[in-house]
Amino acid sequence: MGDFLSEEILEKITKSKGRISDVVVNNLCKEGENFNGILKEVSFNFHEVNSNSTSRYNVILKFPNKDTIFYSMMQNARAFEKETKLYSDFFPSMEEWQKNKFGRIKYELPFPKCFYGNTTERFFFMENLKIQGFRIEQCLLKGLDYVQCKSVMEQLAVFHALSYAYIDSFNDEAAFFRRYEYLKGSTKEQMTEHMKMTKTDKEMLKLLKTFTNVLKLEFPNEEKLFKKVQDWIANVDYVVKS
């Protein structure tokens, strides 16, 4: 954790040299609430060199949870590397493309800005939308209502259309994937490699089988859904044992 909050790293957020003080770190979610990632709210004072001014920064730090049973699989799939590069490279590039095409950012992307991302150490800092009035909706159990679903779909539609136009601007899909190699999907061989058996994979498989039993108890009439889950786990079991 200390390596993420060094003065050298935090200066990459401020984009200038200075002195860091009064660093405060708060947890944003409980373990397991953010799938395989850990979210921290980080605030600090920044005293710029040759200036009497002091600014207070409040940002979000995200890094993978290495204690989860999914970590090795996510690491092999380069999942966190892809997420980091989406925020630090792909989204900013789409905004630059809009500036060149329209003279401005015509369509705001519904994603927080990334201040700094490190794919080697697997962490990135992004803006804290909480201080702008946004909140994390507790929808894991109760789900989204109609208005929220409509808003999400509208935002996805804009992003889908914008990304389609951006990819089309390359005039060649191969050229696009040469520029954004990390967006390529995994091949069947790579997925098999990702799922090779390890000690933690055995634990994951055990949990998945427990999950099917719970699913059957909670949704006794959803036979098709249960059959799909069973088939999927059988495939995982086959790959893991092969």
> Are the beta carbons of 22 and 2 closer than 8 angstroms?
no
How many CB atoms neighbour CB 186 within 10 A?
Answer: 14
Region label for 96, one of left (φ > 0), alpha (ψ between -120 and 50) or beta (otherwise): alpha
Backbone angles phi, psi at 110, to 5 degrees: -80, 50
Please tell me the total number of residues recorded for the chain in this structure.
Answer: 242
**pTM of the predicted model as reported, rounded to 2 decimal places:** 0.69
Under the banding of pLDDT at 50, 70 and 90, the label for residue 201 is low
pLDDT tens readout for residues 27-71: 887 665 666 788 899 999 998 887 778 889 999 999 888 776 667
Instruction: Give the range with max mean pLDDT: 83-87, 118-122, 129-133, 141-145.
Output: 83-87
Query: 27-30: long-range contacts at Cβ-Cβ below 8 A with a sequence spacing of 24 or more?
Result: 28/60, 28/136, 29/136
Closest CA to 215 of 234, 230, 203, 232: 230
Closest CA to 90 of 128, 68, 119, 55: 119
